[in-house]
Amino acid sequence: MTVPLSILDLAPLVAGGTAGDALRRTLDLARRAEQFGYHRYWVAEHHLTPGVASSQPALLLGQIAAVTDHIRLGSGAVQTGFLTPLGVVEQWGLLDALYPSRFDLGLGRSAQRRKAPEETATEARVVDGLVIPKSFSFAPILRSARSALFFKLLHQPEAVPVDLDTAIADIETLLAGPYTDGEGNEARAVPGEGADLQIWVLGSSGGESARVAGARGLPFAANYHVSPARVLEAVEAYRSAFRPSATLAEPKVMVSADVIVAEDDETARHLATPYGLWVRSVRTGEGAIPYPSIADAEAYEWTEEERLLVADRVETQFAGSPDTVAERLETLRRVTGADELLVTTMTPDHADRVRSFELLAKRWYG
């Protein structure tokens, strides 16, 4: 069964490069993705991260829309705790006003330092051919002094973000318009009201995001590339909570994966050499570094503790020939029941990254 294939882009910097370089590569990749036949092109939202330039999805997507014609564009995901529902609707309403009916408003629950309990650990297993590794908890990172600084910069003083369900309810009300207070007063978002946006919810576990997406009858994107240990839990929680809505009569799931494709398995594995070092920078709490060169990655002296820190992400990256990666993606689709797959790829060299997406699309769509 061939399901649609889409792209998630972080606009990654590479070692020695600038944010401007990264953003120009994103524009080029989006144009190529449209030519290759990808269904959607989503950009992530990451803040205060040295190696990632996609901090403002709406701004970046406006630039991408200007250089593409028809590919759907979206966010993976707007973090609802860092922006008011009105701010979200106005930004995305502006995009829709300029480029009608092309945008997916992907929403996510932004991490909160005060809401970072330890997760129950899960052990590694293989489910019908899909690797489900031992889980990793971000709780220590979220409770760190570094994270406290980040949260301070991301919030207005004394601001209390609303929960995800309330944020989505307000966003949907503003889009439908008008927004009323029950006392005869109303407010209208211009641009925004009436915008033709497809709302998605993204999540990495079976927690709030999955449950809210299901209960509100919205499509759900589960992050195998971020939290591979929790992907089955996430899709199961979503489907269990699902209630039909005006948007969907039945659940709709997209699942992400980290991939790298080359002409043969050996070349792909060589191109993937820096991936573990990049993941290490995320997992240690220092923030994603500019993507390392292959030479720097090969020269790095790993400790056993560091290897264990990144093992779940490294072993669930799909690196190989078009046939190898397509087979692993099909396993992911089959086991999760995904209706669509979202792939992300990083390489030190832009040409290798573009080639990876090209080879995969040719193999996937035939």
Number of domains in the chain: 1
Residue 143 above 60 pLDDT?
Answer: yes
5's enclosing H/E stretch is strand 5-9
- 120 pLDDT above the threshold of 70: no
Q: Decide if 147 is inside a domain.
A: no
Q: Would you say residue 78 has pLDDT above 70?
A: yes
What pLDDT is attached to residue 159? 87
Band of pLDDT at residue 138, cut at 50, 70 and 90: confident
Which value, to the nearest 10 degrees, does the dihedral of the CA atoms of residues 77, 83, 88, 91 take?
-100
Q: What is the CATH number of the domain that holds 61?
A: 3.20.20.30
Q: Record the pTM.
A: 0.96
Q: Can you point out the beta strands (E) in 102-144?
A: 103-108, 125-127, 130-132
Judge whether residue 1 has pLDDT over 70.
no
The set of long-range contacts for 162-166, using a CB threshold of 8 Å and a minimum separation of 24, is 162/80, 162/85, 163/109, 163/208, 164/80, 164/107, 164/108, 164/109, 164/201, 164/208, 164/209, 164/212, 165/208, 165/212, 165/215, 165/216
Q: Is the predicted pLDDT of residue 215 greater than 90, yes or no?
A: yes
pLDDT band at 285 (very low <50, low <70, confident <90, very high): confident
What average pLDDT does the chain have? 95
Identify the pLDDT of residue 306. Answer: 96
**Distance, CA of 252 to CA of 136 (rounded, Å):** 26
Helix (H) or strand (E) holding 179: strand 179-180
Mean pLDDT of 50-62: 97
- Summarize the confidence of residues 267-296 as an average pLDDT: 96
Mean pLDDT along residues 9-18: 97
For 268, the domain range is 5-109+124-137+161-365
Gap between the Cα atoms of 359 and 190, Å rounded? 42
Residue 145 lies in a domain: no
Interstrand relation of 220-222 and 197-203 (parallel, antiparallel or unpaired): parallel
pLDDT > 90 fraction of the chain, expressed in percent and rounded: 89
Q: Give the DSSP per-residue string, 191-229.
A: TTTT--EEEEEEESSSSHHHHHHHHTT--EEE-TTT-GG
* Residue 63: per-residue pLDDT: 98
| Mean pLDDT in residue range 146-155 | 91
pLDDT value, residue 222? 98
Long-range own/partner contacts, residues 111-117 (CB < 8 A, 24 or more apart): 111/79, 111/81, 111/138, 111/142, 112/81, 112/142, 112/151, 112/161, 113/142, 113/143, 113/147, 113/148, 113/151, 116/142, 116/143
Interval 14-28 mean pLDDT: 97
Tokens of 192: 């925004």
Largest separation between any pair of C-alpha atoms in the chain: 67
Average pLDDT over residues 276-285: 95
Each residue of 184-199: pLDDT tens digit? 999 999 999 999 999 9
Distance CA 324, CA 363 (A): 10
The secondary element (H helix, E strand) that includes residue 333 is helix 322-336
Four-point Cα dihedral 77, 124, 118, 309, nearest 10 = -80
Q: Specify if 143 maps to a domain.
A: no
Confidence of residue 14 (pLDDT cuts 50, 70, 90): very high
Place of tokens 């600084």: 149
Q: What is the pLDDT of residue 50?
A: 95
Buried b / exposed e along 110-121 (16+ C-beta atoms within 10 A): bbeeeebeebee
Residue 79 domain flag: yes
With bands split at pLDDT 50, 70 and 90, how would you rate the model's confidence at 123?
A: confident
Q: Are 111 and 205 contacting, i.e. CB atoms less than 8 angstroms apart? A: no
